[in-house]
A and B are shown apart, each in its own frame.
Chain A
Amino acid sequence: MKRFLILSLFVAFLMCATSVYAEDMIQIKGSDTLINLVQALAEEYMAQNPGKYIAVTGGGSGTGIAALINGKCDIANASRQMKAKEVEQASKNGVKVKRVVVAMDGLSVITNGNNSVNQLTVDEIGRIFRGEVTNWSEVGGPNMSITLYGRQSNSGTFVFFQESVLKGDYSQKMNRMNGNAQIVEAVKQDQSGIGYVGVGYVKDASGINVLKVASMAGAAYANPLSEADVKSGKYPISRPLNQYINGTPTGEVKAFLEFELSPQGQKEVEKQGFFQLPGEYVEYNSKAGL
């Protein structure tokens, strides 16, 4: 009797398991910067299309890209672009990588709300994060040592910031945080802190300064919270947020991507604190068949 019970339970479990997978479940993995946005988009999409399932998990852009290369997800969220080495690795595994841009981000450099410094040049930020400038007084602030907050190396933001701002190695003393939200939290609590996060994480945050950034000494300072500055590239560390897929999108994946790029999806992008796509990326996406 008992054995029969266990067996039937097991069979029931198997049926449940397969029935969930039989539905058109899309697996999305990757960027911590994108996760809240894509989650919100997925929820709205599921509410409008009952019976469709989308699973969104984070883990960092590197993790999402690795999953796409190994065929473990349908869409990889990435706040950086894939490296040539990664694309090559993917094609070796039979994955034909295609890039779709879903939103624009003004990567925001933040300091504690009590810090008088509210604007820096890209060069100054680079020197701070390389560990060459270690006291706020060197960049016009109070006499106080600087505490750095950055991301882990699996983060796309870590890589993007390194390539576009540092052009060198991060200070070994930088605290390596697990996500954007954790950086905001840490800088809020730390008078001496400086960190970098996606603009979607600073829109409603209090207790922090969002720094204005100039591309070089003498150039005009631009604000990451300004849509015009980010879209025009006047804000020097703005970037497109990407999703990578395998081959030309079809079926469920295509339907979801189309939803993301629709006016309704783009409105959600704005609601989450990021910016709608400028014309050049709309064009780019349409070339990819969307």
Chain B
Amino acid sequence: MEKLIHGFFFANGMISVVALLGIFALLIFTSIPAFQEINVWSFLFGSVWNPTSYVEEQYGIVPMLVSTLIVTVGALLIAIPLGVGTAAYLSDVASRRVREIAKPIVEILAGIPSVVLGFLGIVLVGPLLAKIFHTHNGLNAINGAVLLAVMALPTIVSISEDALSSVPSSYEQASLALGASKWQTVIRVKVPAALSGIIAACMLGMGRAIGETMTVLMATGCAPAMPESILGPVRTLTSSIAIELGEVAYNTTHYYALFALGLVLFIITFFVNMASDIILHKYEQVNR
């Protein structure tokens, strides 16, 4: 029996690893044909993406990389302070009753379908931003960032709150006993003690923001040009794949190029995860 259970869990673990390797292999093998036609250099450093051009097909991903970066960083700039602040409030300031009502409500945010958020971006957030910034329209990078921040919030709040709550209460008591105020205790003792959990929360939120497709597709204007400012339209890697995969003819250079985009996205998220892992390890060593 013991062996059976052991085997079961081992198999589960292996399935995840095999799935990951399988996806990676698939992306690589379906990307390779693209590079028989496209110069790798012009793919990675080209600034024009126009596979359905009337004149000359071009496959440069730089504008999309920049767009993805702008939207993701923007979302994190909004979501991290808000999320960690909310988490600190929920774990240390709010009464038990408030916490028990507020936390599930924040988590319900995660259940809003992305297409609904995209719609809100078109009819509500976008026009509002246009008014605030006096631009012609609200379909821009900030609109995307705000909506993605809303999507990343529940993850960041929920996991940060768990991390803060699981800081041993002796830390808090010791700090208060030394005469620190409640505010000092939260900022100087509890947040640093829970930092590994908070960083993990932010990384998960970032993963959500990078990979999100529908909302950015609807709310950011999707112009393929290099973004000129955060008030201009942007087109992320994910929305390009989503838009073009529907209509592309199978087994053409354009088709394979879209898989190459997927590969790029995969590698980015891989490095984000690896970087967060390294940061966490360093942090744990310092604190030991």
A: residues with CB less than 8 A from B are: 59-60, 62-63, 65-66, 69, 85-86, 89, 145, 147, 152-154, 162-163, 166-169, 171-178, 182, 185-186, 189-193
Q: Assess whether A175 is in contact with B222, with CB atoms less than 8 Å apart.
A: yes
Contacts of A65 in B (CB 8 A): 247
A-B contact count (CB 8 A): 81
* Bound complex: CA A180 to CA B221 (Å): 14
24 A-B residue pairs with CB within 8 Å = A62-B247, A65-B247, A66-B247, A66-B248, A147-B137, A153-B52, A154-B246, A168-B54, A169-B50, A169-B53, A169-B54, A172-B48, A172-B50, A172-B226, A174-B223, A175-B139, A176-B222, A176-B223, A176-B235, A178-B218, A186-B137, A190-B136, A193-B136, A193-B137
Contacts of B55 in A (CB 8 A): 168-169
Q: Assess whether B139 is in contact with A166, with CB atoms less than 8 Å apart.
A: no
In the complex, whether B117 has a CB less than 8 A from a CB of chain A is: no
Q: Assess whether B223 is in contact with A172, with CB atoms less than 8 Å apart.
A: yes
Closest CB of chain A to B247's CB: distance in Å?
Answer: 3
Q: Assess whether B54 is in contact with A162, with CB atoms less than 8 Å apart.
A: yes
Which one, A59, A85, A167, A172, contacts B246 given CB within 8 A?
Answer: A59
Interface string of B192-225 (1 = CB under 8 A from A): 0000000000000000000000000110011111
Q: Assess whether A189 is in contact with B137, with CB atoms less than 8 Å apart.
A: yes
* Bound complex: CA A44 to CA B96 (Å): 57
Which one, B53, B54, B233, B247, contacts A63 given CB within 8 A?
Answer: B247
Residue of A nearest to B218 (CB): A178
20 extra A-B contacts, CB within 8 A, seeds A86-B249, A152-B222, A174-B223 = A62-B246, A62-B247, A63-B246, A65-B247, A152-B243, A153-B244, A154-B246, A167-B54, A169-B53, A169-B54, A171-B225, A172-B224, A173-B223, A175-B137, A175-B221, A175-B222, A175-B233, A182-B122, A189-B130, A189-B137
* Bound complex: CA A101 to CA B233 (Å): 36
Q: Assess whether B221 is in contact with A66, with CB atoms less than 8 Å apart.
A: no
In the complex, whether B127 has a CB less than 8 A from a CB of chain A is: yes
Interface of A is mostly: mixed
Which one, B123, B130, B244, contacts A154 given CB within 8 A?
Answer: B244
Closest CB of chain A to B180's CB: distance in Å?
Answer: 52
Residue of B nearest to A155 (CB): B247
Q: Assess whether B249 is in contact with A66, with CB atoms less than 8 Å apart.
A: yes
* Bound complex: CA A194 to CA B249 (Å): 30
Residue of B nearest to A166 (CB): B54
Closest CB of chain B to A77's CB: distance in Å?
Answer: 13
Residue of B nearest to A145 (CB): B136
The count of chain B contact residues (Cβ–Cβ below 8 Å) is: 30
* Bound complex: CA A65 to CA B249 (Å): 10
Q: Assess whether B249 is in contact with A192, with CB atoms less than 8 Å apart.
A: no
* Bound complex: CA A147 to CA B140 (Å): 13
* Bound complex: CA A92 to CA B144 (Å): 42
* Bound complex: CA A59 to CA B233 (Å): 22
Residue of B nearest to A153 (CB): B52
Contacts of B54 in A (CB 8 A): 162-163, 166-169
Residue of A nearest to B224 (CB): A172
* Bound complex: CA A252 to CA B247 (Å): 27
Contacts of A59 in B (CB 8 A): 246
Which one, A60, A147, A176, contacts B247 given CB within 8 A?
Answer: A60
Q: Assess whether A185 is in contact with B122, with CB atoms less than 8 Å apart.
A: yes
Residue of A nearest to B243 (CB): A152
Interface string of B31-72 (1 = CB under 8 A from A): 000000000000000001011111100000000000000000
Residue of A nearest to B246 (CB): A63
Contacts of B48 in A (CB 8 A): 172
Closest CB of chain A to B224's CB: distance in Å?
Answer: 5
Most buried by B among A145, A185, A186: A186
Closest CB of chain A to B167's CB: distance in Å?
Answer: 42
* Bound complex: CA A74 to CA B258 (Å): 27
* Bound complex: CA A63 to CA B50 (Å): 18
* Bound complex: CA A191 to CA B134 (Å): 12
Contacts of A89 in B (CB 8 A): 249
Contacts of A85 in B (CB 8 A): 249
* Bound complex: CA A182 to CA B139 (Å): 11
* Bound complex: CA A154 to CA B242 (Å): 11
Contacts of B225 in A (CB 8 A): 171-173
* Bound complex: CA A129 to CA B164 (Å): 54
Segment 141-176 of B: residues with Cβ below 8 Å from A: none
Q: Assess whether A176 is in contact with B224, with CB atoms less than 8 Å apart.
A: yes
Contacts of B123 in A (CB 8 A): 185
Contacts of B222 in A (CB 8 A): 152, 175-177
Contacts of B247 in A (CB 8 A): 60, 62-63, 65-66, 153-154
Closest CB of chain A to B134's CB: distance in Å?
Answer: 11
* Bound complex: CA A186 to CA B223 (Å): 14
Residue of B nearest to A178 (CB): B218
Contacts of A63 in B (CB 8 A): 246-247
Closest CB of chain B to A43's CB: distance in Å?
Answer: 23
Residue of A nearest to B140 (CB): A175
Contacts of B244 in A (CB 8 A): 152-154
Residue of B nearest to A150 (CB): B223
